[in-house]
Chain A
């Protein structure tokens, strides 16, 4: 076969006659382009089979040497078949269905596939020994900067389309009693055995049709594989307990049989009570020079070409084998009109043809001879010749392990089929903790020590005769059923299979190399051996140094020869050597499966859309979005333009919050505080629980009064705060921080599970919407809407009330909504926190804005609130506190009761507060002109012991803003105790420069509390 493509007009006529072409629908054709040339195929073709049908055997170029590469397995198990489709790289040509109008090209080429300028790299292989990149490119100093550009230019395979339009991918869960992975004879038998017992079974198949090896292989002990396949399929598809998923790849195994399965554009997360892996085994190649040429394929690949796609794989073939399957392939080739010039059996010798007494083998030898196939025993291929397609092979006699005679015979051919044996599809099983042990007698790995509830059946379990495969599947299903509590009445027995399918040393190094062990990474046998000679004796190190097994095929074909080579080179057994760790994913997995339709929860207050309507700059607060400030209309920035690093963005922010702050100080403002946590405590022991949880005393808190509540951790650190409202002797409503409320609720319920206090604890955060109406005119606004006595005496500072808010309705009597009102002074002005059931939150906002219109009410945001509370010296938990902040450091000694036996964290609080204090949270002030000079400290800037830039760090700034009310930069910072006295100088490192602040007494504003106590 040459490399000249067929014309589309002749391509279809070259296909083999039925029953070849199981997957084809010959009533419909598909046409696409490959490297710009037209390609025609049938519906059911893969891109790869259609290419073969048009005589395109070179599909892409190899990773390192840019060698011509084409089909190897025809089952999407290798990286030779990766092609580029429009904007999508690394598409497996032997898996992706052919479709009209595709634009397919080879990949990893410099120029065109046919004229790849980088193909010359193959001639410089000796300058690129294994791991050369670890030892090159870094000397002389600085040369890497040049090399990096060159390497990046050459790196990667296909070309990603960075302007792609994302497609919709999603995820779903499924649950089954038994999941069977693989639908070959073992898989279908296991599924039927389990389902017949009445359990729910899912049967997974990575390809488009059921049957596994029955779809393409011939068997020495089964006359009609298709008949068996149809028989099994009929039972499986009609069984109401079996769900079948084809085109579905189980891409990993996670603990407790959690199986991610890729199917279409969905990632299924499947839970199986019992899992049976009937994943089969991967046919292995023979290592000889030129074993990567297009036209050199696995025996199973040639069978797939013929049986699945009606492709005649060549005109004249040489088959090299270490087992009976090579014979079956040769016979199938002859049956389809391919001349088999030689069947090279690596086994035995002239006097002892196959080294076996197997009747089946002897029968195959007889059949091959009858078919006129020339048999060569005890020989191997030593080299394949050709440029872009195999043209001839050299056959030599085997003289020992990996050794061949000095001379051989040359045979012209355009197809080489090889089979040196099988490697169990071990990856998923090893992810589950299974261990591989090498059976020297059978030259085969077996899998042991699987976890309970995970079973294997078929060739993955070393069973190769059809009879043994079927029995093994029945046994695996019976074992699974027993674990499900549904044992079979007559449990099958474990089955043994003595058939040997692996040739023990199918590796024939060539002095000139290009005898590939790993096709993905262009690794030759000497590369593996050299890695061990350089000290990388462990197979895991060999992997990391040489990258063997790290390509897309993940060691399916390289693991076994690598284990053999490393074992030989390090004088260890293959079992001792083992294979490299198999990790998920099993097959290349599009990031879309992971990134597709994730869940990104958000929470919205009842007034959320009002803030958006007002053009608020929203910022995240946990899962909430809160208005930071309300910039003037038309000046809201978004995206990167809103970065605080950009002067215009900073100016808009600062201007807005200064204006909002002054408005609250002088008139009235409204802020949405619905995100504040809320916990309701009801019952006779409500006060006792409060007393045990928070630092203050709450037993004597009067009804109708609020009290500051500080929560310390078991380490004595302040972790939350809030306001406790006592609405009845047995009812407290306590607020908590937005992000801390869930932890506080958890803590309360955790402790009360032990204390057994007679109290009901309910997290009511979402049940209430809340606002803070603040400013000297707030009373005037509110008194329009409630019958409560709002006078200073009737509703004094730190009092709380339950009442109603009137809602004016056009043309009707006012309606009312229930409300809880708290007179608190977080922002330092006369103010009312108003809490209403959340369904009324939006109406509450509206009615207050309407009632406040006459007083020029304006909304203010969280950033403004932070400034206002800073002016009052109030801390914000987790902004002004850290993981070490105890009440003493924060000046909260007054909020810690000394008169009660216990509160959460009390012992630790006692200990840490008795220790010599090393730092203290202090207020500081700086001149306003530092803002313009760009020297305003920011949160996190360091406080130093002295003005020397190398001085010890004593603390850090926690809050800092320019205050239009104070007319200066104000802030809070942790400082050394020696720096904490009022009047002390506080060196702060701002962008590398030292600014010296003055420590001042807190608060910065209204020390007499006159404003909030109006």
Chain B
């Protein structure tokens, strides 16, 4: 085995044998129970009985197999409106749908949608995925594969983020619905502050190929807050 980028995780994870779709850091995911998402892949539902306590302090979730999609172009708002999805008022803000999807407005013409943990992404999966299905000048994006979806939870969000990013993400200046497209742990990422199931959370969308790296950085950052990995159930 090479010493380059060697990790201490096992190369073979038995449960993954049955999965076609695998996240960039699925080997890091270990838990008592998994749940299948609408994308036909699985995410950790529960790590152990301490999930709720950890999530309240400093939880880390890996949600890459929870559906998400995105669209860019001048007619994207038409598509969103047709699907009764909220349209955030300005770039770098997010809004939640009644069903719990989170609509991210990343620029004047670019919108991403993050699945609701409640329906495991069923509503997002029902949206168009190819250019043939979208209006002219509305181009589906590849964010399900280009970006991993990690999440931080709990009361120490601001302090954790302050260890990872040079952007001020205290809730007073970065309230729920705020988006930062910036650097975290020296990689580019999109960060969204949300409130899910009463829990303060920060969704982090980063380059898929960097997700294993970022997972280790997040896990390192939450240690001092008695945090750790938690499952999707804390959001439902």
Contact = CB atoms under 8 A, between A and B. Distances in A.
Interface of A: 170-175, 269, 271, 597, 599-606, 608-610, 612-613, 615-620, 623-625, 636, 638-639, 674, 680, 682-683, 731, 758, 760, 762-768, 807, 815, 817, 837-840, 842-843
Contacts of A171: 163
Interface of B: 1-6, 11-12, 20-24, 27, 41, 64-65, 72-73, 131, 137, 139, 141-142, 144-147, 159, 162-163, 165-166, 168, 170, 173, 185-187, 207-210, 212-213, 217, 220
A842 B11 contact: no
18 contacts: A173-B163, A269-B166, A601-B185, A601-B210, A603-B207, A604-B5, A604-B209, A620-B4, A638-B3, A682-B131, A731-B131, A760-B73, A760-B139, A762-B142, A766-B146, A815-B20, A839-B22, A839-B144
A299 to B, nearest CB: 41
A768 B72 contact: no
Contacts of A601: 185-187, 210, 213
Q: Is the interface of B mostly helix, strand, loop or mixed?
A: loop
Contacts of B27: 609
A612 B185 CA distance: 25
Among A603, A807, A838, find the residue whose CB has the most chain B CB atoms closer than 10 A: A838
A636 B4 CA distance: 12
Contacts of A600: 186
A636 B144 CA distance: 36
Contacts of A172: 159, 162-163
Contact of A766 (B4, B6, B162, B209): B209
Contacts of A758: 137
A247 to B, nearest CB: 17
B5 A608 contact: yes
A677 to B, nearest CB: 12
Nearest to B214: A601
Among B1, B65, B170, B210, find the residue whose CB has the most chain A CB atoms closer than 10 A: B1
Given A618-B4, A764-B146, A843 B168 contact: no
Contacts of B159: 172
B212 A840 contact: no
A839 B41 contact: yes
B1 A615 contact: yes
Contacts of A271: 168
Given A682-B139, A839-B145, A807 B163 contact: no
A765 B21 CA distance: 18
A788 B149 CA distance: 33
A879 B130 CA distance: 38
A721 B213 CA distance: 29
A423 to B, nearest CB: 34
Contacts of B163: 170-173
Nearest to B65: A839
A717 to B, nearest CB: 27
Nearest to A626: B4
Nearest to A603: B209
Given A271-B168, A619-B4, A625-B2, A767 B146 contact: yes
Contacts of A768: 145
Nearest to B210: A603
A618 B6 CA distance: 9
Given A171-B163, A837-B21, A839-B64, 13 more contacts: A172-B162, A173-B162, A269-B166, A597-B220, A608-B5, A609-B11, A609-B27, A612-B2, A625-B5, A638-B2, A760-B72, A762-B139, A767-B145
B2 A616 contact: yes
Given A172-B159, A612-B11, A837-B144, A605 B1 contact: no
A840 B4 contact: no
Among A617, A636, A766, A837, find the residue whose CB has the most chain B CB atoms closer than 10 A: A766
Nearest to A174: B162
Nearest to A639: B3
Contacts of B146: 763-767, 838
A605 B210 CA distance: 9
A296 B7 CA distance: 57
A603 B12 CA distance: 19
A890 B40 CA distance: 48
A842 B2 CA distance: 19
Contacts of A619: 4
B185 to A, nearest CB: 4
Nearest to B132: A728
Leading 4 A-B pairs by shortest Cβ distance: A618-B2, A767-B146, A767-B142, A603-B209
Among A269, A674, A768, A839, find the residue whose CB has the most chain B CB atoms closer than 10 A: A839
B22 A606 contact: yes
A766 B208 contact: yes
Contacts of A764: 142, 146
Contacts of B64: 839
A731 B140 CA distance: 12
A758 B234 CA distance: 44
Contacts of B23: 839
Nearest to B109: A760
Nearest to B13: A609
Contact of B20 (A599, A638, A680, A817): A817
A765 B139 CA distance: 17
Contacts of B2: 612, 616-618, 625, 636, 638
Given A599-B217, A760-B73, A767-B146, A838 B6 contact: no
Nearest to A638: B3
B185 A599 contact: yes
A612 B27 CA distance: 14
Contacts of A817: 20
A617 B2 CA distance: 6
B169 to A, nearest CB: 9
B213 A602 contact: yes
B89 to A, nearest CB: 23
Contacts of B5: 602, 604, 608, 618, 625
Contacts of A636: 1-2
A838 B162 contact: no
Contacts of B3: 638-639
B36 to A, nearest CB: 14
Contacts of A683: 137, 139
B20 A624 contact: no
Given A172-B162, A620-B4, A625-B5, A604 B20 contact: no
A625 B7 CA distance: 12
Contacts of A174: 162
Contacts of A682: 131, 139
B166 A604 contact: no
